[in-house]
Each structure stands twice: as C-alpha cells, then as structure tokens.
Structure 1
Amino acid sequence: MLLLLLKSRYRASVLKTLKTAQERSVAFWALGMERETFFSGADTFRLKFKIDIPETSQEQSEPFRVTTFKAPDRALHEILPNYIPCGSAAPSVKRFDPRKAPCLQPLAAFTNAAHQCVVQNERLMHLHFVIAKDLTLMCVAWQHVVLDAPALKLIVAEWECLLAKDIHTHDPDSHRPEIEGPKDRPNLDILISTLQTNPPSSLPGWTAVTLWVGLKLKLLSKIYSLRYPRTFGTAYLPPKLVAGLVTRVRSNAGQGVVLSRNDIVASWFYKATCEIYQPRTATTLSRAVNLRDKHALISPSVSGNVLGLAVMPSVQSGALQHASLEDLALATRRSIEKFKNPDYVSKFLGFRMNYGNAGRIAIPEVRLSNQRCLITSFVNLRLSNPNLGKRVSVERPVQLTMAPVVIRVIDDARGGWSIHGHLPHAAWDALERNMEREMEDLDAKS
C-alpha cells in the first residue's frame, strides 16, 4: 500500500484529474493486462482464479474501487496515527493498527485473502483519499497477487504523465503522444507457458509443507505470538541516521565491496529487531527481489507480480548480535546474487508455479522455530517522490501494510526511511533504543 500526501491547495485539480484518468481507464493502460489474465505462478494460493481488470464502461467507470474520508477541520496527524511530519530530524516509532484507524476503514476489505475478494466479486485494487485540513492523503492499495511495487510504478507513471501535461485543456495545437494501450505492454503469458512445460518438483533451499509440518508451524506461531505479542507500527529513520549507517558500513567493508543502502539498512533493522530473542533462537532475513530484466521473458515493464524471495542463511540471535553490520549486509547481498542467473530465475518461478497450481505450499528450508524477518522494499523505484506536475506538490510518502507478515520499507526524497510492519512490542522497543543509540553516536562524532 502506497500513500502520498498532497498539499491542500492542489487538492481539487488532483481529484478532478484522477477522475478523468479513471474515465480514460488509466490503470488498465498502466497495468497492460488482457481482460482475463491468469496469475497462478508467483504466489502460492490454494485456489486458481482469474483476475479481471475491466475496461471503462457505462456500468463500471473505473478499474479501481474509489472511496473518500473527509475531515476538513482536523490536521492529518490527528487522524492518521503513523504520520510523521515532513522534515523531521529525530527518529521515531509509532505503534498503531491501520485496521482500526477510522480514516482507513474503507480499506478493511484488503485484510481478506485475494481469493475471498474474487469470490465476493470485490475489486482487487483500491484508490482511497483522506482529505484533512492541511493535507490530502492519496492511498493506492492492492492485493499482492495483482501487482507488486514495480507494477504500481506503471500506474503512478501514467498519473505523472496525465497530471503533468494538463489533460484539462483542449488545445488543438497540443500534440500529446498517445498512451500505449494494454496490447502494447509485455505480459507473462509466454513465460507462464514456458514454465508449465517442465516445472521442477523441487528447489534447493526450499521444502514442501506437509500437513504435519503445517500443524507444527501453526502451533509454534501461536506459542511465539503469546510469548512476543505483536502490534502494527511505523519507524522513521531520519536522513542523518541512514547516511551515518551507510557511510560507516561502506568504510568498514573496504574498497571493491559493493553494498547498497538497501542492503545496509535492511541488515541493521534485522539485527536491531532480533536482539529480543534468546541467544540460541534461529533467525533469518528474507528480502523480496524484483525479477524484471533478470530473465529474457520478463521485461522491465511487465505488469503483474514478478517477485522472487532471497533467503539469507539462518543465524542464531546471539551470533547475530556479535556479527558486524558489514558482514550481515554482505550475506544478504549474496542471497540476492543468485537471481542474476536466468536459469535460477526460471527454476524458482517454475517451482513456485508448480506448487501453487497443485494447491501446495513451500517454505525456505530452515528450522520451523526460525524467526523470519521478511522485507519488501520500494527503494529505487521513485515511488517516494513522484513528479505530478507544477500544480501538485507531493509532501512525503507514508508506508503501511495490513498484512501481518511483510515489513515494508520506503525512502523519501530527503533520504529518510520509513519502515512499517507487524512486530513484537519488544522489537519496537529495541528498534527505538537502537535508533537513539545510533543518533547519540553520530552527534558525538559531529
């Protein structure tokens, strides 16, 4: 779920333009889907189903479900608990449940599984506006099976084009290029048919979930939820903290070692939040990987959900706390490197598709009691700072998820990071302590 804050004086033009965009079926163009596209590969669902993104018609005027919440006499921070004002220089942690925030109630349907939405004939994408006294929040929400962050970028790019080029005017001399239609977009049909020819029945590092294993996982999950009660929340790492971590780790890693900001901050977050577990508790960092352009049949502009999952080798909590941040960042970087091999990408997707179509589930091959830290990052997608034209000012992005599994990460234009997830109370406390400690060290050195 991506949320953008727009300054109030631009609100009317944005809403009107987005309405026009809906009438022109901008989401359909952006996604580039055939009207009955099969998605049965990237995620493991027990039910096969079609996802239909309808074209604009008199009966259905937009492919999104669109809702609005108005609070004209209240500031946004008064109604959205995890909003951190733009330009904040201090780290902060805000605990709140997005499913209980009144201004986000129209999005509650997204707590259902995708197949439930299909059975109930609900839209799988949702555009929601929260109109406050000072800011307007534009929230784009979707079911994970429909698209991922790079696919959402296609929709945002269409909005950028439509808003920046002022589609309100009817200037006969205007020669705006036509937006490419859905049939001009690449799709996954050829890849899916190729993978279905001879899908692998096994993949190194992954194991099938049998009935007995599933029951044990459910029991262990219940035990850990009682031992470590969880809550949703958002942590904000200011630009100074992020820059300090990146500078320190790259300096310690030495010349010739390539580590991204994403590698470094994800590893720091993993280490900070897993310090709450007993020293012998196994932990693992997993990261979503964008597979576009990593296989000849997966174009950079393909729509849908094309994510892999990179799993770092399991580390006991005690050893994790003694490991250097640069070593952890290198380990998670190595876990992603295998996805640069097109053969591995093909095997990974074929394996996941094979299991999904058979109604089976596979998980990383680690101890069942392993504490998993799964991160999906929007970094480097430019979703943090869209360019919607001169009349529209994007204040800052906000990030949250209503799913209790995935930790979402997004960076803002100034270099700060927001991390949202469903973590143990103790993990939020640990995160707060570690952020304060890092800031104190940086202040002492400056």
Structure 2
Amino acid sequence: MRVLVIGNGGREHALAWKLRQSSRVTQVFIAPGNAGTLEEGENVAIAANDIPGLIKFAQTAKIDLTVVGPEGPLVEGVVDAFQAAKLRVFGPSRAAAQLEGSKIFCKEMLRHADVPSADFHVFKSPEAAQRFILDRYPSEDESVPVVVKADGLAAGKGVIVCQRRRDALDAIDRIARKREFGDAGKQFIIEDRLDGQEASVLAFTDGRTIVTLPPAQDHKPAYDGDKGPNTGGMGAYCPAHIVDDRMLSWIEEHMLVPTVHAMKRSRQPFKGVLYAGIMLTNQGPRVLEYNVRLGDPECQPLLMRLQTDLVDVIEATIDGKLDELGPLKWDPRPAVCVVMASEGYPGDYEKGRQIRGLDEAGALPDVKVFHSGTALVDNKVVTNGGRVLAVTALGNTLAAAKLQAYTAVKCIRWPGAWCRKDISDKARLPPKEDTWRDKPRR
C-alpha cells in the first residue's frame, strides 16, 4: 500500500512514522513534509492547501490511501475533492469540518445537541461587541470572565482569555478591527470563561460507532504555570488521569455521542477524528471547542503508545466498520511530549537557525523526536517555524517519561531555543471530588 500524508508539522511526522510501521504499507509520501519526515518516507513539494496538485500527485503516484493531517485543507474541502476523483482519503467532509472551521457553527451545534458548553454571544461588528461588554460590565475594575474567539481558523491563536474589561475591549479590537487573525475575525464570539483543568478527548468515528482514545492533556499557554499567551500547544502527556474511566464514559455519553448524532441528523455526517477540548469545571465537563483531526501535540504521545495497526483503524473508519475492529491495543507506559520553540514564538521569530544534537537525542531509549517546524538546507536541519520539535518519550511512570523527554531536550540546541519546563506536572494535582454528577447539566 502506498500512503500519502498531507501536512508538514509534528502531527504529520508522527502519522508518517506510525503508518510506516504497518506491515501493509510499502511507501509513505508526505506533502510537503519537513526535515524529519524524510526519515519516514519521501517528501513531495506540494503545499497542503494545493488540492488540485495533491489530487494529481495521488493519481500519478497510484496512492492507495491519503491521510489528511491539518485542519486547513479539511475545511477547504480536500476530502470531498479526493472522493470526487475516486481516491481513498481519511478525514471529514467540508461540511462536517465546520465543527472546527467555524466556532459559531460549533457553538450552535453544541446548543442544538444539548452538549454542555459555555454560554455565548455572536458578533459581526466590534462596536456592538464593545457595547455589550460596557453594558454588561459597567465598572472598569470588576472581573470580566469572558473569552473572545475569532470565528475562523487561526492556527490555535484566535482565542483570547480576558480578566478585566480592558482585556475584553482590547481583544475585540485585535480580532475585529486590527484583524490580527485575518478573515478569521470577520465574525467572532464572546463566551463565558470556564475555569478548571483542560483535557483532550479524541475519538475515531465512522458516523455510527465511536472509538474513544485515552485522554490526553495539552498545555496551551506559552509559559510555565499556564502563564502567557495561547499557543498551538507547548506539550502534552497521555494518559491524563484527571479523566478517569467513569468520567470518560460520561463524556462519551453526554458529549461525543450527541455530537455525532446531531451531525448525522443535520445531513453532515462526521467521519474521521473528532477531538473534544474539554474544561473540567466544578459543575462538570464542558466542551470548549471541537477539532476535526488529531491534535498537535496530543497526537505524538498518543501514537507513541498505540500498538494497533493505524492503517486498520483508518480503513475501518472510512468503510464504516469500526464496530468490527475490536478494542485498540496500547503500550501501558505513559508518554510525555515537550515542544521546543523558536525565540519569539507565539509572536515573531527568525527562521534558518541550525539545529544540533538531534542524533544524540534520538539515540536515547524510548525517545522519538518529531519535527514540527524544520527544513533541510545544505544538508543541515534548520528551524522553519515557531514550534520546531516535539520531543516525545515513554516511561514506566509519568515521572520517568517526563525525565526521559527532558533529557532528550537537553541534547538539542540552537540559538533561541526554549520550552516549558513543567509539561505533565498538572497530573500531580489531587483530583477533586466530582459532586457535579448529581447536579443538573445546565
């Protein structure tokens, strides 16, 4: 089987690495890929959003299966286009991908399906939104617990968490007037801020059957202690025991199942990976947002632990046969992923800085260095993005996995390299008593 992976980030490197392990796969192509994906297969110089170019390559190279990594091509309809060309492809349709492509669509669907989430208001003009904030919070000094979100895709950065009135007014200005996130800010949402720990629950679904993966926990803020601006994710670990088996069953019943059913009823059936970003509040789990693909960096520790052939899972999803697949097999050891970033990220950063120590890090036991933002220039690996590497390790305990990941991080260097030092530390927090189960959901 010849497989094409679309994308150039850490998620796509992890997908290519795992797909290459399948006994059924003879060759892996990655479009456009990065310096790391060259270790797993052949890079193809076609942009992830060049849908006609991707289709032409898949036809010419006789690709048997295409796996779409990033959200952009999914929202643009790459799956529909591949299917129209009679090509086998994994991912949701353009209509179903609106769950991630439009936060307004997602929130309205959550409300329609009665899935627990934060209350929200939709705006098209900054003036109306700022009047809403000023009317609702007349005092400049009072707490303003809201989140302002650009409606469209913004590479994980179009969400601004506010503490004070000036924060909310500034967020509206940045999204709707200055258009820091481009056309993603044509419409936007102001929703009530939810407090608690975040968790990521991902599931494969063929539109009828749901196969839920072990929960993971991402670290979105840039700096230790969850300080600083939001990023695309600075690290993750799996499994996240803050979501125990009982809570995971509750999330499946009250969030994933109603969502899949609501999409089917609306004639926008969902096939692929449904990713629920969840806030664990004192009132119970609440959906923050849905993504329509594997998370990055959650994908890396999840695939490090997955022992079932990924091709089998993907094909069962495409063919509507997940109910015949049987339970997935997992390495019992936990995995920790630490993202190494460029100086300045999530703001402006320089590219082209040579990375050293990759071989030394990769030689450590139970370590895999996934490339996110790298390129090969004159046979040297250089930085080519904000999030550069996703250093991932297994360990007999979570503490051992963390130690091994950071041991690998210490091997790697380039000018301006940095990372959070506390990935997985939140797992040490004592669990709260879940008295919310006996309360009304809303």
For the aligned pair, the TM-score class normalised by the smaller chain equals under 0.3
- Report the TM-score, using the length of structure 2 for normalisation: 0.26
> Which has the higher relative contact order, 1 or 2, with Cα contacts under 8 A spaced 6 or more apart?
1
Larger radius of gyration: 1
- Report the TM-score, using the length of structure 1 for normalisation: 0.26
Greater percentage in helix: 1
